[in-house]
Amino acid sequence: MSQFEKRTTELKKLVNQQLAGMLTKKLPITLYDPMRYVLQGGGKRLRPLLVLLACEAVGGKVESCLPAALAVEFLHNFTLIHDDVMDQDDIRRGRLTVHKKWDVSIAILSGDGLVALSYRVLLSKSHPRIAEIGTLFSNTLLEICEGQALDKEFETRKEVAVNEYFVMIQKKTAALMALCAQIGGILGNGTDAETEALRSFGFHLGVAFQLQDDLLDIVADEKLLGKTWGSDIMRRKKTFLLIHALQQGDATTKSQLQAILQKEVIAQSQVEEVKKLFQVAGTIEATQQHINRHFDLARQYLHRLPSSQGRQFLDRFLDSLVKRQY
């Protein structure tokens, strides 16, 4: 096990212990059971790790940013519960989603409760810049809502431009990863330049991450994915892949894609067809190129920080995302 793997394993264990410790309260069970269920669902804890590693990369201590690391994980899990209701997803990380295991009311409420917990832990440790951190956190929450609203709007729209897609994923996904790296920098007492570089690092990491999600939906192994293969297509999600193929594909590819999208119900059997159309249109490579570009940009911003073991760990963190299969 490399030093990086050792450190992230330690940090992930710490995060999991703390998260569990904050949910020992039992009543009312209809509020707390679903929270525990979703938090014990085997998440990768990427966002808290990003906070903690960013803090260490500017010379800060884990203790100073641990509450913020827990806060971003609570916030992330809130978005999963509410998004699954809106997207009518039945499966997440290989298990039933909260609204399927319980019901929509319980999913709404346990999501709301996670937001409360996220702010409670975020604001639990005094810090001279706590109001600023809380404001950044709130702006990010609002951006996530805006991103999700755009994502839903796009589902029923015939055409979505590439730049509209990028605005949507910046809000829905990249804003939170940018925040993670930024507050890690602030709480680690990084300089303004370091904190800004970390924010941009997290931002491009987030953009690449979402593009990967779009790609993995159609190229990943369903077992690893933990959700239905091709679900984006079945839900007519305007992913980068779909937008690209509809714009760059030849006339036949476009009309075949449009014919599938106009069906009343898109069956899973059609996902294979769509995948082939994406290959014909060069969509898979184009997506991979965009992913690589944003990972490269993330790396460039990261390297504005002085070299250190902490920075090296963030390099390895980036590498692990580049290679992810699910």
- The residue ranges that bind its own copies (CB under 8 A) are 27-28, 30-31, 82, 85-86, 104-106, 108-109, 111-113, 115-117, 119-120, 123-124, 126-127, 130-131, 134-135, 137-139, 141-142, 145-146, 148-150, 152-153
Q: Which is nearer to its own copies, 111 or 206 (CB)?
A: 111
Q: Where does residue 167 rank: exposed (0-12), middle (13-18), buried (19+ CB within 10 A)?
A: middle
Q: Where does residue 287 rank: exposed (0-12), middle (13-18), buried (19+ CB within 10 A)?
A: buried
Q: d(Cα 97, Cα 34) in Å, to the nearest integer?
A: 9
Q: How far is the CB of 110 from its own copies (least distance, A)?
A: 8
User: Tokens 């829905």 sit at which residue?
Assistant: 172
Q: Which is nearer to its own copies, 149 or 219 (CB)?
A: 149
Give the closest residue to 76 by CA, choosing from 49, 55, 103: 49
Token pair, residue 192, equals 């303004």
Q: d(Cα 222, Cα 272) in Å, to the nearest integer?
A: 13
Q: Which is nearer to its own copies, 103 or 196 (CB)?
A: 103
Q: Which is nearer to its own copies, 21 or 28 (CB)?
A: 28
Token pair, residue 244, equals 């690209």
Q: How far is the CB of 26 from its own copies (least distance, A)?
A: 11
Q: Which is nearer to its own copies, 119 or 166 (CB)?
A: 119
Q: Report CA 41 to chain centroid distance, whole Å.
A: 15
Q: How far is the CB of 258 from its own copies (least distance, A)?
A: 24
Q: How far is the CB of 205 from its own copies (least distance, A)?
A: 23
Q: Which is nearer to its own copies, 143 or 194 (CB)?
A: 143
Q: How far is the CB of 243 from its own copies (least distance, A)?
A: 18
Q: How far is the CB of 235 from its own copies (least distance, A)?
A: 12
Q: Which is nearer to its own copies, 27 or 251 (CB)?
A: 27
The phi, psi pair for 79, rounded to 5°, reads -65, -35
User: Tokens 């990003």 sit at which residue?
Assistant: 50
3-state secondary structure 192-244: HHHHHHHHHHHHHHHHHHHHHHHHHHHHCCHHHHCCCCCHHHHCCCCCHHHHH
Q: How far is the CB of 102 from its own copies (least distance, A)?
A: 11
